Structure 1
Amino acid sequence: MTLYQRLADTLQELIREQAYPVGSRLPGVRMLAAQHQVSVSTAVNACRELEQRGVLEARSRSGYYVCPPLAELEPPRVARASRRPRRITGQERVLQILQNVNNPAIVNLGAAVPAPEYMPVATMEKVFHGVLREQRRRCVGYEFPPGAPELCTQIARRMAALQCPTRPEQVLVTNSCQESVAIALKLVTQPGDTVAIESPTYYGLLQVIESLGLKALEIPTDPETGISLDALTLALERWKVSACVVVGNFSNPLGVCLSDERKQALLALLAKHRVPLVEDDIYGDLPLTGRRPRPIKSWDSTGQVFYCSSSSKTLSAGLRVGWMVTPDAYTEKARYLQFINTVSVSTPSQLALARYLERGHYDRYLRQVCGEHARSVARMTERVTQLFPAETRVSRPAGGFVLWLELPGDIDTSELIEQAQEQGVSFAPGALFSATGKFTNCLRLNCAVKWDNRVEQALITLSRLC
């Protein structure tokens, strides 16, 4: 634990003991530094840490103020294990929910797409203009797989910083993280094979599995500790599993981050059964507190992990640039599969992302946006606590920007969504996150929205329908 994190813990304990009551202003950072005998930068970082935890609120030119405490909410319950691998069903409604993103009459709390206010729009615009001006002839052509060399180099450098030594030629640029996952599964499975997945899991993964003619084996996932290794062990002993897909850092929809110990145990378990791991790390750059966690890939010494990610949740959903890092034995075939899928990823998008990464914009932006997401999740959690039925269970995500709610009683959110959309509100019903339609009394909310009166009214409407 760093010095600023220890100071943050000390200040948080003082706040719990009412040394600083709710609504009161903390001493200035210089005074805090003097009181606790630390540097001013340490005091600043400690206050920012508490801001991300939802304990403090920064007010422009005024300082840091103590926020009201969030109620202690029960986490959602863990689903029961699947009895057998299953075909995917019930995904027809996904496109309708996603289309609501572009409908100005509907408040989008469903699709996990950050509002433009969370994206570096102005900086990306300048970068694009520079690329189009300086490399206009290149921008009208193809960048065939594996992709623009400068982008592959930048991604390899970022992977190395995450303790994943990667050569640029191991990087394959794709159109999305979802395409990366699809290519990885094509490399290691055949139609009819079984894929082990978290439960609940991202509905896009279920669509990929369905489109490839595969079966899903749902493994119970705890909202605080992640995928059950005991249940996965039993599944691997009972069924022939051809691949396992896991979001080790800030899973969607639970937002759980596997500990380093559990990541290594998962890798060892899969290696024992010779099952390749497809790692979806699309949310890895978005911790709500602390440092960015290591990918599972960083412990891969045998080439069993296919690493997949993209810029969709951080920089721009419309950029359409993802990537994967493949084991050497699969590099050429992965490139061929990407080529026959889409021929090429947008050249201007690749060059713009490469320049953005090269100039150091990305890390500065992440330091800002992670704090914004932490505040948005804390604010949404607080409003859900105040508005929804008292027995509602709410996830406590460690990263990302979505909340998973388990509603009380026999509420069916697949029916609730119809009423909500008629009243201008969209959310993601829980059944979409299961291969077999589990989680009918659950829903997912997107917290990365521009908070205004429309969002407040949407939550009030949704809570009333519940």
Structure 2
Amino acid sequence: MKELLYQRIARVITGQIKNGVYVTGDKLPSLRTVCDEFGVSMNTSVQAYLELEKNGLIISRPQSGFYVTFKPGRLKSPKVSRPVISPGSESVGGLIAKVYQSLNDKEVTRFSLGVPENELLPIAKLNKSLVEAMRSLSGGGTAYDEIQGNYKLRRDVAKYAYNWGGTLTADDIVTTFGAMNSIALALMSLTERGDVIAVESPVYFGILQLAESLGLQVLELPTHPRTGVDPDALKAVVQKIKVCLLVSNFNNPLGSCMPDEHKREVVLLLSENGVPLIEDDLYGDVYFGNTRPKPCKAFDEAGTVLWCGSVSKTLAPGYRVGWIAPGKFKEKIVHQKLIHTVSTTSLTQEAIANFLEVGKYEQHLRYLRNHLHGNSLQFIRAIGDYFPEEIRVTDPQGGFMLWLELNKKINTNELYERAMRQNISIAPGRMFSLQEQFTNCLRLSYGQIWNERIEDKLSVLGKIIKGMM
């Protein structure tokens, strides 16, 4: 069968990708350039790139172009976690404190810190928004805000929820000091000391520390690195738990994203058994596909999902602006907020509301998502180049994190110590569980600007790991 022109162009570019002319994360020539180089029409160029996209070699980013996503076949995904299905009790507070004790050391390349680098944030625009807030608020922002929180921010968050099909109003939302404060208020409202809560495994260490501080028992569930928590595993323990707490979209540290059918199944299961779901949707806006994934809240008909969000990972980490849509538990949440904080900071909330209101947030998110997706591809390519053959690494479709599974001989607590001697900070896998597991795993954040220094540090990290074997 005669090869069509667009197929020939796709074959040529495929060869360039597989031979390393273009590597993972590289931007391909524009469609117009392909037209000029091959002497073809725009339609033929488009067909060639669609063929490459269909074969999983490239991906299109809106308003940015086409990028190589091809990864070496040897890079496998980490295995599904298999925690013991009983509450864990092995505290990791000491390890967490050690990893974050050098938080502000400028000499350290911090692959351990899951926030975007300052260069990826619209700081000048935020400063203007803050000045606007000072001018518009009573007393320049010095007065107490209402207990439920800044009305403009609550209204704008409700509007923004339409991106995932939400039908929230300003009255459905309570503002907080970031997503962790939302989760804390929810746990304090719904649990008592000794209660059992179910979470993913691995799970963000901040959730583990919070649960420990409240005297709660943590039941870790088997979790797939791509599709998240196992609904059948949750079904098996639903009668034993008081609350379920999930990071449904691009969770930390795995980067998994629950499919819609799993979200719907989990929400129905928990609702039928009278178990509230606290949903941390902190990373939902950092998606690499064409549309934002729905949160579990989109399937909540009984008001039993407490949807938590924040701009801490996308816009302004230090502003500590978050929110919770607590469904039928709103009165309890407002009461806990009154007891613990009285009100939230009016100035930063007004500034974020201003930013959301004029469309700057979505413009910034497009920029951020493009950079982070490119970073994830570059990191995965470098890991394939520099790390040992048997390495397993996630392929996230959003968020900030890569989860790596190393040879069983490697203890990543020791790897952390060796890497720090080279001014490289990682997050050892043991931080993300209250059980004795994930000692050969680690989390890397790709929230930095990609450059030669980052690649060099990944190369050094790969050499350290090979040396430990």
Shorter-chain TM-score tier: 0.7 to 0.9
Cα 1:203/1:25, change in 2 over 3 Å:
same
Q: Following the alignment from structure 1 to structure 2, what is the Cα–Cα distance between the partners of residues 132 and 66?
A: 42
SS of equivalent residue, structure 1 residue 92: helix
Question: Residue 446 of structure 1 aligns to which amino acid in structure 2?
Answer: S
2:345 partner letter: S
Residue ranges of structure 1 left out of the alignment (5+ in a row): 1-9
Q: Tell me how far 1:13 sits from its aligned partner.
A: 6.7
Partner of 2:305: 305
Three-state SS of the structure 1 residue aligned to 2:415 is: helix
Segment of structure 1 superposing worse, 72-81 or 208-217: 72-81
Q: Secondary structure at the match of 1:70?
A: coil
Q: CA deviation at 1:268?
A: 1.6
Q: Is the 1:403–1:445 Cα contact (8 Å) retained in structure 2?
A: yes
- Quick one: which amino acid aligns to residue 351 of structure 2? A
1:77 matched to which residue of 2? Answer: 79
Could you tell me which amino acid in structure 2 is paired with residue 422 of structure 1?
R
Distance 1:162 1:422 in 2: 45
Q: Which residue is 1:400 aligned to?
A: 399
Q: Is the 8 A contact 1:26 1:66 kept in 2?
A: no
Of 180, 202, 205, the residue aligned with 2:204 is 202
Q: Which residues of 2 match residues 308-319 of structure 1 at below 5 A?
A: 308-319=308-319
Q: 1:363 Cα deviation (Å)?
A: 1.1
Q: How far apart are the structure 2 equivalents of 1:293 and 1:133?
A: 37
Residue 456 of structure 1: how far off its partner (Å): 2.6
- Kindly report which structure 2 residues correspond to 1:374-413, keeping only aligned pairs within 5 A, or say none: 374-413=373-412
Shift of 1:283: 0.2
**Unmatched segments (≥5 aa) in structure 2:** 1-6, 23-27
> After alignment, is 262-271 or 16-25 more displaced?
16-25
Displacement after TM superposition at 1:14 (Å): 5.7
The 8 Å contact of residues 99 and 425 in structure 2, kept in 1 or not, is answered as yes
CA separation in 1, counterparts of 2:387 and 2:34? 41
**What amino acid sits opposite 1:214 in the alignment?**
L
Q: Distance in 2 between matches of 1:120 and 1:332?
A: 35
Cα deviation, 1:330-382, whole Å, max 9, x if unaligned, reads 22221121232233322210000011111111111112211111001001111
* Bigger mean CA deviation after superposition, 63-72 or 337-346: 63-72
Please show how residues 10-409 of structure 1 align to structure 2 within 5 Å.
17-18=14-15, 22-23=21-22, 25-28=29-32, 31=35, 35-36=42-43, 55=58, 67=68, 69-72=70-73, 73-87=75-89, 89-135=91-137, 137-237=139-239, 240-328=240-328, 330-409=329-408
Contact kept, 8 Å, 2:428 with 2:441, in 1: the verdict is: yes
Q: Which amino acid aligns with 1:196?
A: A
Tell me, yes or no, if the aligned pair for 1:279 and 1:305 is still in contact at 8 Å: yes
Q: Residue 222 of structure 2: SS of its match in structure 1?
A: strand
Moved more, 396-405 or 123-132: 123-132
**One-letter amino acid matched to 1:260:** D
Is the 8 Å Cα contact of residues 246 and 277 (structure 1) preserved in structure 2?
yes
User: What amino acid does structure 1 have at the position aligned with 2:43?
Assistant: H
Matched residues in 2 for 1:197 and 1:368: separation? 32
Contact 1:151 1:351 in 2 (8 A): yes
Following superposition, the deviation at residue 436 of structure 1 comes to 1.2
Q: Where does residue 3 of structure 2 map in the other structure?
A: none
Asked whether the equivalents of residues 376 and 401 of structure 1 are also in contact (C-alpha less than 8 Å), the reply is no
Q: Which residue of 2 aligns with 1:463?
A: 462
Give the distance between the partners of 1:455 and 1:29, measured in 2 at CA.
30
- Between 410-419 and 389-398, report the one with greater CA deviation: 410-419
Structure 1 CA distance for aligned equivalents of residues 10 and 235 of structure 2: 40
Look up the equivalent residue of 2:29 and give its one-letter code. Answer: R
CA distance in 1, matches of 2:57, 2:454: 19
Give the match for residue 418 of structure 1.
417
8 Å Cα contact 2:250/2:398 also seen in 1: yes
What is the one-letter code of the residue matched to 1:36? N
1:147–1:383 Cα change, 3 Å: same
Contact 1:297–1:307 at 8 Å: present in 2 too? yes
Tell me if structure 2 keeps the 8 A contact 1:395–1:405. yes
C-alpha distance after superposition, 1:125-159 (max 9, x if no partner): 11112222343614112224211111111111112
Check 1:216–1:331 CA distance in 2 against 1; reply closer, same or farther (3 A cut).
same
Secondary structure of the 1:93 match is helix
**Structure 1 residues 233-263: Cα deviation after superposition (integer angstroms, max 9, x where no partner):** 22225xx200111111111111111111111
- CA positional deviation for 1:36: 2.9
CA distance in 2, matches of 1:272, 1:402: 33
When structure 1 is superposed on structure 2, of 443-452 and 90-99 the one drifting more is: 90-99
Q: Give distance in 2, aligned partners of 1:327 and 1:405.
A: 36
User: What SS is found at the alignment partner of 1:278?
Assistant: strand
The 1:16–1:393 alpha-carbon spacing in structure 2 relative to 1, beyond 3 Å, is farther
91-100 or 139-148, larger mean C-alpha shift: 91-100
Query: Could you give the per-residue CA deviations for residues 167-190 of structure 1, whole angstroms, max 9, x where no partner exists?
Result: 212211100101111111112111
User: What secondary structure, in the 3-state scheme, does the structure 1 residue paired with 2:419 have?
Assistant: helix
Whole-angstrom CA distance in 1 between matches of 2:108 and 2:57: 28
1:107 & 1:272 partners in 2: Cα distance?
47
**Structure 2 residue matching 1:443: 3-state secondary structure:** strand
Residues 20 and 402 of structure 1, relative CA distance in 2, 3 Å threshold: closer
Output the CA distance in 2 between the equivalents of 1:418 and 1:430.
Answer: 14
Deviations 1:16-61 (CA, angstroms, capped at 9, x unpaired): 75498844735318959954389xxxx69x89x97xx883799x9x
Deviation at 1:100, TM superposition (A): 3.0
For residues 345 and 110 of structure 1, do their structure 2 counterparts lie closer, same or farther at Cα, with a shift above 3 Å needed? Answer: same
Deviation at residue 160 of structure 1 after TM alignment: 3.5
How many angstroms does 1:65 deviate by? 7.3
Alpha-carbon spacing, 1:420–1:192, altered in 2? closer, same or farther (3 Å): same
